[in-house]
Structure formats: C-alpha cells, structure tokens
Amino acid sequence: MASTSNPSEEDARLRARIADACHLCERRSCPRFVGFLDEHCQAVARAVLRETGQSSAVFFGGYPDAERVMFGVFPDFMEPDVALFPLVAMQFRYRPSATLSHRDFLGTLLANGVKREVIGDIVCSPGSTVVFVAEEVAPYLADNVRKVGGEGVSIVYPYTEPVAVQREFRELTDTVASPRLDCVVKSAARISREEAARRIEGGFVSLNHMPCESVSAAVTEGDVLSIRGCGRFVVAAVGPQTKKGRYVLKLQQYI
C-alpha cells in the first residue's frame, strides 16, 4: 500500500481493492491476488471478507507464519493453492562477517525503484538473507542489485529451500486493576494510566492490528497490542485474579 497522510483513506482504497479482487474472481472464474499486506492491512482485508461472506480466500507470504503476506481469492470450484501465488524467494549471499540488516535490504530494494507492496518478508541470517517479492519484479532485482549496504552480494533466484524464522520475545509479568486497554497499555509501556489514556485517545495504540481509541476496550488472551514508540506485544495471559482482586497480566514483547 502506498503511504498517505490519512490512514482512513488508505484503508478505504485497500477495501476497494479487496472487494474488486473478489468481484473479478467471481466474474472471470480465476484467482486474483493483492499484496503484500502488513498485519493491519490483513485485518482490513479480513473485515471485507466477513462483510462479503467470501470463504475461498487465503493469505500466504511464501513460508509458514510470514508477517507480510499476499491476499489470494479463488473461485468456488477451485481449491485454494498457495503454489499459484505470484511471489518468489530470492537469496542474497555475502560474507558471514558482514552485518547487513533488514533495513539495509529494504533500503536497497526501494532505492531500485520497486514499491513496498511488492516486497514481503526479509529474513536475515549471517551470510544469507532471503527476501520474498512479487514475481514480476524478481528478474529486475536479480539483474540490478549487486551491493547491499556497500557489501557485494550474489543472488540465488528462485530460492527453494525451507525458510525458518525464530521469533524472539521478552516476557513481562505484572498485575493490573482491570483487563481494560488503558490498564494493559500502562503496564506494557511502563507509564501512568493517564498517559496511557492519552496515547490511546491520540491514536497511538492498535489492538489486533486495528487502531483502537477506546480506553475501556477489553483485552483478552491472544490479543496483539502495538504501542507507537514502545513496540508490539502478545497478550499471553490475563488472570487469574489475586487475593486483592487484581489480574495477573503476562505479555510477550517482540524484540
């Protein structure tokens, strides 16, 4: 998705694209794809699916548990098949001692004129980074990218080996007066409840990848909380209650 100064306008455009893909899939009896989508955009797309009753849609980013994924919708007579998604993996090889990061690769790809929406996950490890991209831009990148962050790279394309990602979390445990959003934000961000309320009402907090400006919104186990400037958290547990009536809160913070 292209960046705009008005997130609601961006969401409206995405909703139109998803609805259009579903319509064209039904009209032309062939799969249609949109993406790559971040987690917020995925939540918007799922809302459209609920509203339209479309049940033959799949999200896929090239490997299990990908964060950035494409949206694919398939005709009723056709079993959804991730092999049909128009994406490809590219492996960039370089010296293991080089310290290349996600930012280095993203910056290089964008500097070569491709849009963010055609770039999926970037999985870095010593001496090797795998990048998932829309298949139409892969030949161009393979022909034009020779260095990343000043480091010479060689490219294996398409890359067909399994990709595994180890998610790392920091465990946080606290007690809160209530499983309300303002209480949970207070605990996660280590700020006062008044400041937590200001951040929520100011649009700096997302719950399950959607902006939430209600301080009293209920938070439950499995929810994903994003606080601008503080990071992203998974709610591992809410409860049980202590003898003083407070709730034990367990969070996993992405690191």
Q: What is the pLDDT of residues 118-127, one digit of tens each?
A: 999 999 999 9
Task: Report the distance separating Cα 182 and Cα 81, nearest Å.
Answer: 42
More confident position, 207 or 164: 207
**What's the pLDDT score for residue 128?**
96
Query: What is the average per-residue pLDDT within 90-116?
Result: 96
Concatenated DSSP letters of 83-133: GGSSEEEEEEE--TT----HHHHHHHHHHTT--GGGEEEEEEETTEEEEEE
Query: What is the average per-residue pLDDT within 227-251?
Result: 95
pLDDT band at 205 (very low <50, low <70, confident <90, very high): very high
Crossing angle of helices 181-189/193-201, nearest 10°? 110
Which domains occur in the chain, in start order? 7-80 (3.30.1370.160), 87-156 (3.30.70.330), 169-254 (3.10.290.10)
Q: What is the pLDDT of residues 126-139, one digit of tens each?
A: 999 999 999 999 99
pLDDT band at 27 (very low <50, low <70, confident <90, very high): very high
What is the token pair recorded at 151? Answer: 């480091």
Q: Name every residue whose Cβ is closer than 8 Å to that of residue 2 and which is 6 or more positions away in sequence.
A: 10, 115, 116, 117
**What's the pLDDT score for residue 2?**
43
More confident position, 147 or 1: 147
The strand ranges marked E within the chain are: 32-37, 57-60, 69-73, 87-93, 119-125, 128-134, 147-148, 151-152, 154-156, 169-176, 205-207, 210-211, 224-227, 231-241, 247-254
Residue 3 has pLDDT above 60, yes or no: no
Residue 6 has pLDDT above 80, yes or no: no
Q: Specify the long-range contacts of residues 1-9, CB closer than 8 Å, at least 24 apart.
A: 1/37, 1/38, 1/41, 1/116, 1/117, 2/115, 2/116, 2/117, 3/116, 7/211
What does the chain come to in residues? 255
- The pTM assigned to this predicted structure is 0.78
CA dihedral (239, 240, 246, 249) positive or negative: negative
Q: Name every residue whose Cβ is closer than 8 Å to that of residue 69 and which is 6 or more positions away in sequence.
A: 35, 36, 37, 42, 59, 60, 61, 120
Residue 167 has pLDDT above 90, yes or no: no
Residue 251 has pLDDT above 90, yes or no: yes
Q: Which of 18, 73, 75 is nearest to 44 (CA)?
A: 18
